[in-house]
Amino acid sequence: KTPIWLDCDPGHDDAFAIILAAEHPRFELLGISTVHGNASLPNVTRNALSLLTAINRPEIPVYSGASKPFSRPAVHAPDIHGDSGIDGTSLLPIPVTVHSTTNAIVAMYNAIMSTPPQTCALVATGTLTNIALLFATFPEAASHVKEVSIMGGAFGDRADSKGNITPWAEFNIYCDPEAAQSIFSNPELDRKITIMPLDITHTVLANEKVLTRLMGKGGEYRRMLHELLTFFRDTYVRVFGITEGPPLHDPLAVAVVLLEQDVQWRFEEVRIEVTCSGPEVGRTVKTRELPEVVGDQLGGGSRDAYTRVKVPLGLNVEKFWDVLLGVVEGCDGR
Ligand code: BDR
Ligand code: CA
pLDDT digits (tens, 9 = 90+) for 266-322: 999 999 999 999 999 999 999 876 655 544 444 444 445 679 999 999 999 999 999
CA dist list (Å): 297 to 58, 301, 302, 304: 49, 8, 10, 11
Please list, in sequence order, all residues whose beta carbon lies within 8 angstroms of the beta carbon of residue 259, skipping any fewer than 6 positions away: 26
Q: Which residues of the chain have pLDDT under 70?
A: 158-161, 289-305
The secondary structure of residue 204, as a DSSP letter, is S
Start-end of H helices in 56-115: 78-81, 104-113
Pairing type for strands 193-196 and 62-64 reads unpaired
Amino acid at 206: A
Render 226-293 in DSSP notation, one character per residue.
HHHHHHHHHHIIIII---S--B-HHHHHHHTTS-HHHH--EEEEEEEEE--SSTTTT-EEEE-PPPPP
Q: For residue 4, report the phi and psi dihedrals to the nearest 5 degrees.
A: -140, 145
Q: For residue 81, report the phi and psi dihedrals to the nearest 5 degrees.
A: -115, 0
81 vs 92: CA distance, rounded Å: 15
Please list, in sequence order, all residues whose beta carbon lies within 8 angstroms of the beta carbon of residue 258, skipping any fewer than 6 positions away: 24, 26, 323
* Most ligand 1 atoms within 8 A of CB, residue of 172, 176, 198 to mutate: 172
81 vs 266: CA distance, rounded Å: 30
CA dist list (Å): 90 to 9, 41, 86: 19, 20, 10
CB of 125 sitting under 6 A from ligand 1: yes
**2 C-alpha to ligand 1 centroid (Å):** 24
**125 C-alpha to ligand 1 centroid (Å):** 7
Annotation marks residue 249 as catalytic: yes
* Residues 250, 232 contacting (CB under 8 angstroms): no
**301 C-alpha to ligand 1 centroid (Å):** 40
* Residues 309, 195 contacting (CB under 8 angstroms): yes
pTM, two decimals, is 0.95
Give the pLDDT of residue 302: 43
ipTM for this prediction: 0.99
pLDDT digits (tens, 9 = 90+) for 157-167: 766 668 999 99
